[in-house]
């Protein structure tokens, strides 16, 4: 399952993501992972969450992110939820890229096959989202 939180800067995406992370830690029995660009969320999320700073791993494309997520899963089969803060900023793509739709579809298939939920935020106007992205709202 993939869920996308999309909106322009200042619309509360990060606050919503933090609330969802707290809820996941309380309700899920497996590991929760949060991938972010920098260390912005360090003090806002529970210490039980595995916080990953993407800048430390040179994640610069959707393909590299796919490999990274696959590697996370290979190293820990107990992951039940992965949160990705500002996916397009991490990989250096814009929200209108067809590669984003392909990535979300791959993520959805990967999540279903491995029983992992994914929640991503995208900093862009939700009104401009394509149907391929909108189906994950």
Confidence at residue 111, expressed as pLDDT on a 0 to 100 scale? 98
CATH number given to 2-134: 3.40.50.300
Q: What is the pTM of this model?
A: 0.96
Each residue of 5-38: pLDDT tens digit? 999 999 999 999 999 999 999 999 999 999 999 8
Length in residues, the chain: 137
Question: Over the Cα atoms of the chain, what is R_g?
Answer: 14
Q: Is the pLDDT of residue 113 over 90?
A: yes
- CA dist 116 and 87 (Å) reads 17
The pLDDT of residue 40 is: 86
According to DSSP, the residues that pair with 122 across neighbouring strands are 6
Under 8 Å between Cβ of 121 and 14: yes
In degrees and rounded to multiples of 5, residue 104 shows phi and psi of -65, -40
Determine what percent of the chain is predicted with pLDDT higher than 90. Answer: 96
User: What pLDDT is stored for residue 117 in this prediction?
Assistant: 98
* Rounded-to-integer distance, Cα 76 and Cα 49, Å: 13
- pLDDT value, residue 23: 98
- CA-wise closest residue to 113 among 88, 68, 84, 79: 79
Model confidence pLDDT, tens digit, residues 35-59: 999 888 999 999 999 999 999 999 9
Rounded percentage of the chain residues whose pLDDT exceeds 70: 100
Give me the mean pLDDT over the 75-99 stretch: 96
Query: Which of the four pLDDT bands, split at 50, 70 and 90, describes residue 2?
Result: very high
């Amino acid at each position: 399952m993939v869920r996308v939180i999309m909106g322009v800067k200042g619309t509360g995406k990060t606050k919503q993501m933090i609330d969802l992370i707290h809820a996941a830690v309380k309700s899920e029995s497996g590991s929760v992972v949060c991938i972010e660009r920098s260390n912005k969320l360090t003090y806002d999320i529970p210490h039980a969450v595995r916080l990953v700073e993407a800048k430390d791993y040179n994640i610069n494309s959707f393909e590299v992110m796919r490999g990274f997520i696959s590697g996370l899963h290979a190293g820990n089969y107990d992951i039940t939820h992965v949160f990705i803060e500002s996916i397009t900023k991490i990989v250096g793509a814009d929200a209108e890229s067809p590669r984003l739709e392909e990535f979300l579809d791959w993520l959805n298939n990967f999540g279903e096959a491995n029983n992992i939920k994914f929640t991503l935020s995208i900093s862009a106007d939700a009104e401009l989202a394509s149907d391929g992205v909108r189906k994950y709202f």
